[in-house]
Amino acid sequence: MEPFIAMKIAILGAGAIGQLLAHQLATAGSKPVLLVKANQVEVDTPFVIEQQDGRKLRHFESYCVTDAQLPEVELVIVTLKAYQVTAALMAWLPKLPKQCHILLLHNGIGTHLELASRLAHHGLSLGTTSQAALKITPHTIKQTGTGITQFGHYCGTPISDELQQLLLTAIPDSCQVEHILTALWHKLAINAVINPLTAIEDIPNGALAAEKYQYTISAILAELMQVAELEGIELDGQFIAGRVKQVIELTADNYSSMHQDVAFQRPTEIDYINGYLVKRAQAHGIQLFHNQQLWQQIQQLSQH
């Protein structure tokens, strides 16, 4: 554990997943910090995680970053909502060392295209996680699901071996993958089906197993496969359809993040899910009927 203490990982996004990673890194012996402004959290309140077996873990030391720690940051893990990423990262970057590595870990795709040219001095990795957590109070989270976390190199200087080893040690079921964009497209397929449909129909994920949704699910995935091919991403259509079905079953009782965003009148990640597919299709000169319709319907629901 000792060697990890010196490595400074900062987490941008103090939501449930950001805090979950902070607890996991702290448990592995590292001292992560949350990139939060002083007025956003109570600095002296301990962070608490309720694990799935009901045990509570309390990390008394505050995770909140101090100005003195900023020049030491070696890796920033960004766990914000996709639509917050670019603006928030641009605001913090001038205070961070030029060589610190960035790992984007959020639902949806597209922020890497917005950021790649601006991160010329920093290396950029992308990742995706199936771990799930709920924020109960600003300093208390409850882990609600386990699952794999994948990350891999996208551009610039690769992440150092030491940092990579720390992530693999700290995050359960984590692995480094060579084709990270393919992994992100697998998650995109799951989100492109489950998130908008559950939000529009006002149903839990499991309701999508009903026969009446199967045509729409196949049509969304057929369009996704078409765009993936144009983007040079190799996907196995049968595997993707099977994985979507499996996630619908495994998370049957859950309400998707987009369902919750719409219900609580928060912005959604639709621009980085079905919206991303439509925009990439347009870049290749084609229109997508089903994904375009879902994008519009969620935009309309959000306006109400």
Q: Which amino acid is at 99?
A: Q
- Min CB(121)–ligand PAF separation in Å: 32
Distance CA 89, CA 94 (A): 9
Nearer to ligand PAF, 19 or 256 (CB): 256
Out of 254, 268, 274, 291, the only residue in the binding site for ligand PAF (CB under 6 A) is: 254
Sheet containing 33-34: order of strands: 33-34, 9-12, 75-78, 101-105, 124-129, 149-155, 174-176
- Give the span between the Cα atoms of 27 and 24, in whole angstroms: 5
Other Cβ atoms closer than 10 A to 289: 9
Nearer to ligand PAF, 28 or 207 (CB): 207
Q: Which of 25, 171, 194, 221 binds ligand PAF (CB under 6 A)?
A: 194
Residue closer to ligand PAF by CB (options 19, 257) is: 257
Sign, Cα dihedral of 64, 70, 76, 80 = positive
Q: Is 191 in the site for ligand PAF (CB under 6 A)?
A: yes
Which residue carries 């600003």 as its tokens?
138
Looking at 24, 125, 140, 251, which residue binds ligand PAF (CB under 6 A)?
251
Rounded distance, CA 127 to CA 183, Å?
Answer: 8
Which of 187, 159, 196, 154 has the alpha carbon at shortest distance from 300? 196
The residue (of 9 and 132) whose beta carbon lies closer to ligand PAF is: 132
268: contact with ligand PAF by CB under 6 A: no
Region of 24-32, 41-49, 86-94, 189-197 interacting with ligand PAF (CB under 6 A): 189-197
User: x/- binding map, residues 198-217, to ligand PAF, per CB under 6 A?
Assistant: -------x------------
Q: Which is nearer to ligand PAF, 3 or 267 (CB)?
A: 267
Of 170, 27, 10, the C-alpha closest to 95 is 10
Which of 157-165, 169-177, 246-254, 277-285 is the region at the interface with ligand PAF (rule: CB under 6 A)?
246-254
The residue (of 140 and 191) whose beta carbon lies closer to ligand PAF is 191
- Please, what is the minimum distance in Å from the beta carbon of residue 214 to ligand PAF? 17
Query: Binding of ligand PAF at residue 256 (CB under 6 A)?
Result: yes
CB of residue 176 vs ligand PAF: minimum separation in angstroms?
A: 21
Q: How far is the CB of 83 from ligand PAF (least distance, A)?
A: 14
How many Å apart are CA 226 and CA 233, to the nearest integer? Answer: 10
Residue 189's region, left for phi above 0, alpha for psi from -120 to 50, else beta, is: alpha
Active site residues per annotation: 187
In angstroms, what is the minimal distance from the CB of 96 to ligand PAF? 28
Q: 61: alpha, beta or left, given left = phi > 0 and alpha = psi -120 to 50?
A: beta
107 binds ligand PAF (CB under 6 A): yes
Q: How far is CA 120 from the centre of its chain?
A: 22
Query: d(Cα 152, Cα 1) in Å, to the nearest integer?
Result: 23
- SS3 state of residue 142: strand
Is 131 one of the binding residues for ligand PAF (CB under 6 A)? no
Binding to ligand PAF by residue 247, rule CB under 6 A? yes
Give the interface with ligand PAF as residue ranges (CB under 6 A). 107, 190-191, 194-195, 205, 247, 251, 254, 256-257
